[in-house]
Amino acid sequence: MKTLLVLVLALGLAAPALASDRHPTLGELEGEVMCPTCKTTLDQSSAPIADRIRQYISARIAAGDTKSEIKASLVDQFGPAVLAEPPKRGFDLLAWLLPLSALGLGIVVVGALAWTWSRRRDLGDDAPDDELDPDLERRVDEELARYED
């Protein structure tokens, strides 16, 4: 029963992704393509080249191209820097892996520090000693006796 539910859920999520690739919208691609002049996504750029790229994308959508075909065509014209996200292969894979590795390492370090701190408190390392130095205890008693009279 669980397997069937997982399978139905996976198919339900895959269908919109395939439909998005087959029938992209200009708004969708504007957030995924960079303007070569101002180095922002097309939806944030007002540069003339950004307007020409938008017109090109609209024409390619009208011609029935898929999102991946349009992106491949733009990469051929402008290079891989035209994509807002780096490819997930080769050296560019580091752009995806390094932040995740740093996050994982940070979680491990914070967890280890929290565990060490909680163990130290359990062992009583920070607890004050119960016995005072005899000389200090005598001086405290003398001072208290002065105030009691």
- For residue range 39-93, what is the model confidence (pLDDT) as tens digits? 888 889 889 999 999 999 999 999 999 998 999 999 999 888 888 876 666 776 7
pLDDT at 104: 93
Q: Provide the 3-class DSSP secondary structure of residue 10.
A: helix
Angle at 69 between CA 17 and CA 36, to 5 degrees: 105
Domains of the chain (ranges, CATH numbers)? 2-85 (1.10.8.640), 93-148 (no CATH)
Q: Residue 35 phi/psi, 5° resolution?
A: -80, 125
